[in-house]
Amino acid sequence: MTSPKDFLGWRKSSFSKDSPECVEVATRSRPGVGVGIRDSRQYGAGPILEFSAAAWRDFLQRVRRGDHDSR
């Protein structure tokens, strides 16, 4: 089972300021393995979605291109 301790440096977007309505992201403790995403409202106790490093890079590229912008 995945634990928050399996990840390093949980952080959330600076755009969310102090709002708990956000998700947090962290890298796996083994570099290059992937990232974890969790709901910040769960205060570290909720489930963690895991993505491979390649899937995360692809997602970030799509966001930067605007592929996920609402139209």
Look up the domain containing 52 and give its range.
4-65
**Does residue 33 belong to any structural domain of this protein?**
yes
Q: Which H or E run includes 27?
A: strand 23-28
Nearest to 52 by CA among 31, 37, 38, 33: 33
CB 29 within 8 A of CB 7: yes
**pLDDT (0 to 100) of residue 58:** 92
**Does residue 61 belong to any structural domain of this protein?**
yes
- Chunked mean pLDDT (size 10), the chain, 71 residues: 77 75 84 82 81 89 83 61
**Does residue 71 belong to any structural domain of this protein?**
no
The CA-based angle 13-38-62, given to 5 degrees, is: 60
**pLDDT (0 to 100) of residue 13:** 75
**pLDDT (0 to 100) of residue 28:** 86
What's the domain count of the chain? 1
